[in-house]
């Protein structure tokens, strides 16, 4: 792709120089003491510092995100110990994280629970929450991450990772960015407080829109005998609303995004392929219902999500031969329409038993529902239905419903289930050196029954600057609607008897603080039982086509060593990084070693940040003597970003951002073949300029 460097060079040339009278404190610099004392809520659903949290946690503040220039949650996760993100395309283009050496072929990451201000974003159909790229970090206050199980506090899908994206509501800010690939990004955040009859009414709104024209890629996919170049344009729009009147509040979130072209569902179709996802997520709540030593927060949640996937089913050269019964030359378009929703009532509370005991508790009642999930396409629906699928001719627009062998073939029937849970946790400060956390949870699912989750943690200060943690937790992943109720039309048959996957994890953590540095070493050991895998049925769906069904068929061990460090060698310079080695992991599709580093230097009004992450080589295929005569490996790589920030004054910042600054060419694992065994290509270097204005 031809790239225009002129806007970046002009922008850099006209940045004003700082004078002595303009010097102020470094805008983006956090000291090591501040890093150690960061407060989080995710580890126990009560306030703890990162250093004292009873879980293996990572946290990124608003300042971290600003100085690093990372534009999406998915990219940021590569800087978390034990986490790697790969591009995927099996049910639509996505960027899918794998935590602690466990990979699944489902590209929404069902083993990781994704929360927005504590509200679930995971789909009960696909399991995960990464079907709608989270690339609107301008309104984020903090991102908190549990590395390991979290079902005792959060229930299903908190299997080996939990992420909570916490938004910043009290801001007045405009963010603008333009750059290569015709990148255009604009966000606006407004907030205000009013006195209404003696009561404080606060309100904030966040609006965001980002789009780009996509990278150009040489042919990399064999689409039924055709090799063609492609690109990957995308856009997203987001609206967030927060209104609070004393203790009452309403949080609303709307997002609509689309990714186009590229390869989706192992189909390539420039100008046809697109994945449109729309989310609505709302919470109404009351904070601080209290009496004496206890308090209770109540909430009601609603989420609705739709996904409209459009694919080119065949190369147009083959369409008149094997698709259209009248020999038409129209492009054959297919895909499906998916809508799901949940409704939830819940509460979280605390009881201060005494100075050493804090009891936390909570409950939820949730109803999950998915509409009938039909296939859709550009065929004549009336003719297809009247002929019971024997006549397939082009129609006007997109029709929902596909007939096969005289029957209406849907992916999923209309389905629902009810869920309720209770949890209890005790945080006990045993003495000045030791704190013990114990917790239990009961989840009841209408379709598969009950599940108990347990956790325990000991945080022990060996010395004032040295601390040891022993952390145990178990968790589960509930079977999805797809796994239990999918119909034969998808060549995938649901199994209503499949049971939840389970995991038991032990972490041993050593933390040590020094005057100018700190280090944390975590050894983690997990055992997954009742692992769900697709197995072939003893029947053919049609001649030569054998359907698959999910079954609990295997166990799997995970083991890793994670090292995190922060170093302040000179004033204004902080170096942070981590390294992970996996001893036991999913050896097909994941790297054995991971690393990341971030160098941040602040001087007067300037801030310079260079950050990058490393993935070692990935085994993509194992030689079987039939399909692959030798193992296939994807090359290791480092990917770096560079950001130069200049603070014009206390209200206005300008910056130059270079994503993938060294233009590293790399590929990530995909489970499909037809040349995808050699990986999906990633984007190259992208230069952009921007400004952040607070008012």
What is the Cα–Cα distance from 391 to 389, expressed in whole angstroms? 6
pLDDT in the model for residue 192 = 93
Whether 255 and 236 have beta carbons less than 8 Å apart is answered as yes
CA distances from 393 to 272, 273, 327, 401, 460 (A): 18, 20, 8, 14, 71
What percentage of residues in the chain have a pLDDT greater than 90? 79
Please tell me the pTM assigned to this model: 0.93
DSSP 591: B
Check residues 609 and 196 and name the one with the higher pLDDT: 609
**What DSSP string describes 121-140?**
---TTTS-STTS----GGGE
In the structure encoding, which two tokens stand for residue 633, read together?
A: 């490996």
Q: By three-state DSSP, how is residue 393 classified?
A: coil
What integer is the mean pLDDT of 62-91? 91
Band the pLDDT of 12: cuts 50, 70, 90: very low
359-401 pLDDT, tens digit per residue, is 999 999 999 999 999 999 999 999 999 999 999 999 999 999 9
What is the Cα–Cα distance from 137 to 377, expressed in whole angstroms? 35
Range name among 350-364, 535-549, 569-583 with the lowest pLDDT average: 535-549
What is the Cα–Cα distance from 661 to 659, expressed in whole angstroms? 5
589-592-597 Cα angle (round to 5): 110
What is the Cα–Cα distance from 430 to 460, expressed in whole angstroms? 10
What is the Cα–Cα distance from 523 to 563, expressed in whole angstroms? 9
Does the pLDDT of residue 52 top 90, yes or no? no
pLDDT in the model for residue 16 = 40
pLDDT in the model for residue 94 = 82
Whether 346 and 296 have beta carbons less than 8 Å apart is answered as no
496-537 pLDDT, tens digit per residue, is 999 999 999 999 999 999 989 999 999 999 999 999 998 988
pLDDT, the chain, mean: 90
Band the pLDDT of 188: cuts 50, 70, 90: very high
């Amino acid at each position: 792709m031809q790239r225009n460097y002129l806007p970046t060079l002009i922008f850099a040339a006209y940045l004003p120089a700082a004078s002595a009278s303009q010097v102020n404190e470094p805008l983006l610099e956090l000291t090591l003491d501040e890093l150690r004392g960061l407060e989080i809520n995710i580890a126990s659903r009560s306030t703890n510092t990162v250093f004292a949290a009873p879980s293996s946690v990572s946290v990124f503040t608003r300042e971290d995100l600003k100085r690093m220039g990372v534009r999406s949650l998915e990219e940021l996760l590569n800087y978390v110990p034990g986490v790697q993100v790969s591009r995927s395309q099996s049910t639509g283009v996505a960027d899918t994280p794998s935590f602690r050496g466990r990979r699944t072929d489902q590209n929404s990451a069902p083993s990781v629970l994704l929360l927005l201000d504590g509200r679930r974003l995971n789909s009960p159909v696909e399991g995960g929450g990464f079907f709608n790229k989270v690339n609107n970090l301008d309104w984020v206050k903090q991102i908190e991450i549990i590395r390991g199980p979290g079902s005792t506090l959060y229930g299903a899908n908190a299997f080996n990772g939990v992420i909570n994206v916490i938004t910043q509501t009290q801001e007045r800010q405009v963010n603008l960015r333009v750059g290569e690939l015709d990148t255009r990004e604009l966000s606006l955040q407004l907030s205000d407080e009013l006195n209404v009859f003696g009561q404080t009414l606060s309100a904030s709104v966040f609006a965001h829109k980002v789009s780009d024209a996509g990278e150009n890629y040489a042919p990399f996919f064999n689409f039924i005998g055709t090799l063609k170049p492609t690109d990957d344009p995308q856009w997203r729009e987001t609206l967030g609303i927060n209104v609070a009147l004393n203790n009452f509040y309403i949080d609303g979130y709307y997002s609509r995004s689309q990714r186009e072209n590229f390869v989706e569902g192992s189909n390539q179709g420039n100008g046809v392929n697109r994945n449109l996802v729309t989310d609505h997520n709302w919470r109404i709540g009351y904070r601080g219902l209290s009496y004496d030593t206890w308090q209770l927060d109540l909430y009601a949640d609603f989420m609705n999500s739709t996904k409209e996937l459009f694919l080119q089913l065949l190369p147009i050269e083959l369409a008149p031969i094997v698709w259209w019964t009248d020999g038409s030359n129209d492009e054959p378009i297919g895909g499906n329409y998916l809508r799901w929703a949940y409704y939830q009532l819940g509460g979280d509370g605390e009881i201060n038993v005494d100075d050493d005991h804090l009891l936390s508790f909570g409950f939820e009642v949730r109803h999950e529902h998915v509409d009938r999930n039909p296939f859709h396409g550009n065929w004549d629906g009336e003719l297809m239905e009247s002929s019971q699928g024997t006549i397939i001719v082009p129609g006007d627009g997109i029709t929902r419903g596909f007939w096969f062998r005289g029957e209406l073939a849907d992916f999923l029937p209309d389905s629902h289930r009810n869920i309720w849970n209770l949890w209890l946790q005790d945080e006990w400060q045993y003495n000045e050196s030791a704190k013990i956390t114990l917790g239990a949870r009961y989840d009841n699912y209408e379709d598969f029954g009950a599940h108990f989750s347990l956790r325990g943690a000991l945080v022990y200060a060996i010395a004032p600057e040295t601390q040891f943690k022993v952390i145990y937790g178990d968790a589960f992943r509930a079977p999805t609607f797809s796994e239990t109720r999918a119909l034969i039309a998808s060549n995938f048959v649901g199994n209503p008897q499949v049971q939840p996957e389970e995991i038991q994890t032990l972490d041993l953590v050593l933390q040590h603080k020094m005057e100018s540095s700190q280090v944390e070493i975590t050894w983690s050991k997990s055992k997954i039982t009742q692992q769900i895998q697709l197995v072939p049925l003893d029947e053919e769906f049609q001649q030569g086509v054998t359907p698959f069904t999910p079954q609990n068929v295997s166990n799997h061990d995970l083991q890793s060593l994670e090292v995190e460090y922060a170093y302040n060698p000179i004033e204004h310079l902080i170096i942070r990084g981590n390294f992970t080695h996996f001893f036991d992991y999913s050896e097909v599709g994941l790297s054995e070693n991971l690393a990341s580093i971030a160098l941040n230097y602040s001087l007067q009004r300037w801030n310079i940040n260079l950050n990058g992450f490393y993935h070692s080589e990935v085994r993509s295929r194992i030689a079987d003597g039939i399909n692959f005569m030798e193992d296939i490996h994807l090359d290791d790589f480092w990917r770096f970003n560079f950001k130069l920030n200049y603070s014009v004054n206390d209200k206005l910042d300008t910056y130059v951002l270079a994503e993938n600054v060294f233009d590293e060419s790399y590929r990530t694992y995909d489970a499909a073949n037809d040349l995808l065994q050699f990986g999906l290509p990633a984007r190259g270097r992208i230069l952009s300029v921007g400004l952040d204005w607070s008012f």
